[in-house]
Amino acid sequence: MKRPTLNVVGTGIQAAGQVTIEARSAIESADRVFFLVTDPLTLEYLERCNSNLESLHTSYASGRPRMDSYLEMVGRIIGTMERGESVCVALYGHPGVFAFPAHEAIRQARARGWYARMCPAVSAEDCLFADLGVDPAWTGCQSFEATDFLLFNRRWDIRSALVLWQIGVIGDTSFQGGGYAYKAGLQLLVGRLAEHYGPEHRVIVYEAAHYPIYPHRADTVSVAELADTALTPESTLFVPPGASSVPDPAMLDLLGIADAAIHRVRVQLLGARTTDDLLAHVAPPVGD
């Protein structure tokens, strides 16, 4: 019997256009391709690359705990490999970003001594940096899943940018085909953000476009207004810094960044970005 192999790849966020060459090659050469994608064009693309396709979406059911669905997906992938097939798993976005089944399938395949690898891809956060025109180098960038952020009382630095994922499904651990009841969780998030940034601090609700002809969503609202902002399961929140960064003089000395001119430029470019600085740089969606 052939030794089973597993390639886990991402299809990016934008319909088919963000599939890397290595991902395409893994999709084309697999005996079977499991997929979880969010737009019909990417599905069509996968169909052109390989006719042995199997949707992982069928493991979801409305009201079913997401973790049950994830474990079933892993079972289906590993079960297919046990029959000696080479498997490719193609997930939208980056396959290793908020994608438990991808990591778990690789872990279980390697535990059996099989070859398994993940190919990096374009995530929603990558699109956010490009569409909003922000650079994580400016102030640093912290990234949390929104329910995790609240539940574990995460500590973060308000002088750095903050990205919160899954703000449209806060507190809901099951799959909901007909929409999520996120409002109560969103109120709690607004309370937490208001405590640290104040209710007037401006944040951006971001949704990357799936097709290049459509604009992305970049709605700037205050923290207080966020409570009444309509969200979708694809919404991601970008929170610009709420305070400026001031370099530590002792560290400037230790690092030898003593030259006043260089120091000024560095601080201007990297350290002093406040909400206004950042919002002034946010590119408007194409088509606005």
Ligand X SMILES: C[S@@+](CC[C@H](N)C(=O)[O-])C[C@H]1O[C@@H](n2cnc3c(N)ncnc32)[C@H](O)[C@@H]1O
Site membership for ligand X, residue 242 (CB under 6 A): no
Shortest gap between Cβ of 245 and ligand X (angstroms)?
A: 26
124 near ligand X (CB under 6 A): yes
In the residue annotation, 70 being an active-site residue is answered as yes
CB 260, min distance to ligand X, A: 41
Answer for which of 99, 118, 150, 205 binds ligand X (CB under 6 A) is 99
Please tell me whether residue 89 binds ligand X under the rule CB under 6 A. no
Does the active-site annotation cover 92? yes
Q: With CB under 6 A as the rule, give the number of residues binding ligand X.
A: 17
Per DSSP, the residues of the chain read: -PPPEEEEEE-BSSTTTT--HHHHHHHHH-SEEEEE-SSHHHHHHHHHH-S-EEESGGG--TTSBHHHHHHHHHHHHHHHHHTT--EEEEESB-TTSS-HHHHHHHHHHHHTT-EEEE-----HHHHHHHHHT--HHHH-EEEEEHHHHHHTT----TTSEEEEE-GGGTT--B--TT----HHHHHHHHHHHHHHH-TT-EEEEEE--SSTTSPPEEEEEEHHHHTTS---TT-EEEE--SS-----HHHHHHHT---HHHHHHHIIIII---HHHHHHHPPPPTT-
171 contacts ligand X (rule: CB under 6 A): no
Query: Is the CB of 85 or the CB of 126 nearer to ligand X?
Result: 126
Quick one: which of 45, 114, 149, 165 contacts ligand X (CB under 6 A)? 165
Q: Out of 7, 143, 160, 236, which residue is the one contacting ligand X (CB under 6 A)? A: 236
Listed ranges 110-118, 233-241, 270-278, 280-288: which one lies at the site for ligand X (CB under 6 A): 233-241
Q: Which residues bind ligand X (CB under 6 A)?
A: 13, 93-94, 97-99, 123-124, 165-166, 168, 206-208, 233-234, 236
Task: Please list the active-site residues.
Answer: 66, 70, 92
